[in-house]
Amino acid sequence: MKHFEFENDKLIVLDQRKLPFEKEYFVCSTYQDVYIAIKDMIIRGAPLIGIVAAYGVVLGFKEIIEKNMDSAKIYEIINYLVSSRPTAVNLFWALERMKKVFEEARNLSQSQIYSLLLQEARKIEDEDKSINKKIGEHGNTLIKEGANILTHCNAGALATGGYGTALGVIREAHFTGKNIHVYVDETRPYLQGARLTAFELSEDGIPNTVICDNMAGYLMKLGKIDCVIVGADRIALNGDTANKIGTYSLSVLAKHHDIPFYIAAPVSTIDFNIKSGSEIPIEERSEDEIRFFNGKKIVPDESKVFNPAFDVTPAENITAIITEKGVVFPPFEENISKLKEK
């Protein structure tokens, strides 16, 4: 089975917190279960969050039918899912699509509405897979033969409908025979790089080396990094980009060492309604993610903990943004606006 699947009116997702050593699945029978899956990072990655939330609407409407409730309760369900995580714009984008389908079909029977909602959720999933492949193809034009690529967090198949965004570019470079090597940041505190990205790369036979987050600058100084490719959770109109905490630091290091810094993300990750990264809400997560490691307390009780899940990389640190509609170069505001027109 893949990392998520909707079947028999249930959404079954791979618990990514347990990888790579345990393969457990979390069954979502209700939209509340979907909320938990997103909130507790059982699943993660901006595109996948959007897909899973769309299926959450489907499960919510199933409950409306079973309990003979007013179809308008769907708005309450959507708003509840919206509150699961604040930064990844794909969540809101997917839920808006689901809401639009409902509003266009609300005069139909509930069974017809359910079918249309399920159809739209599957469409969002299928679109994401083809979008990722296109991102990979466009991004591959930027990768030179024998490149050493640094990536942060996990922007692979596990974070999307399949194939991946940043890892989609890396996969495409590998499968076209470019003889690349990938350096993988551990990505603290959840270790998505060490646990998930290294796992995906190894499964595909892509040579990779895991490093601690604070080693990246040294590798750049040694000339071991040719480019940096990361994903994104939200991109502002001016090109400022929110991604997993630690991305900003990498961008500063890359700029200092004159190394290309690429963002790979679908157009759905661009928030055309905000002008800059200062408007992006940054999620702060539980202190326990820092206080505990592998179930053991590692921080004194007297110490305070600050745990933002994301940071914002300013547009001036970004070489290009790779989307399914092509590679976007500066000036970002002008060229991102053209994407919306397309």
Catalytically annotated residues: 233
Bridge partners of 151, per DSSP, are 184
N residues, the chain: 342
CA 53 to chain centre: 13
Q: Tokens representing 330?
A: 């500066």
CA 205 to chain CA mean position, Å: 23
Q: How many CB atoms lie within 10 A of CB 169?
A: 31
Distance of alpha carbon 17 from the chain centroid: 15
What is the SS3 string spanning the chain?
CCCEEEECCEEEEECCCCCCCCCCEEEECCHHHHHHHHHCCCCCCHHHHHHHHHHHHHHHHHHHHHCCCCCCHHHHHHHHHHCCCCCCHHHHHHHHHHHHHHHHHCCCCHHHHHHHHHHHHHHHHHHHHHHHHHHHHHHHCCCCCCCEEEECCCCEHHHCCCCECHHHHHHHHHHCCCCCEEEEECCCCCCHHHHHHHHHHHHCCCCEEEECHHHHHHHHHCCCCCEEEECCCEECCCCCEEEECCHHHHHHHHHHCCCCEEEECCHHHECCCCCCHHHCCCCECCCHHHHEECCEECCCCCCCCCCECEEEECHHHCCEEEECCEEECCCHHHHHHHHHHC
Q: Bridge partners of 228?
A: 150, 261
Cβ 254 vs Cβ 176: under 8 Å: no
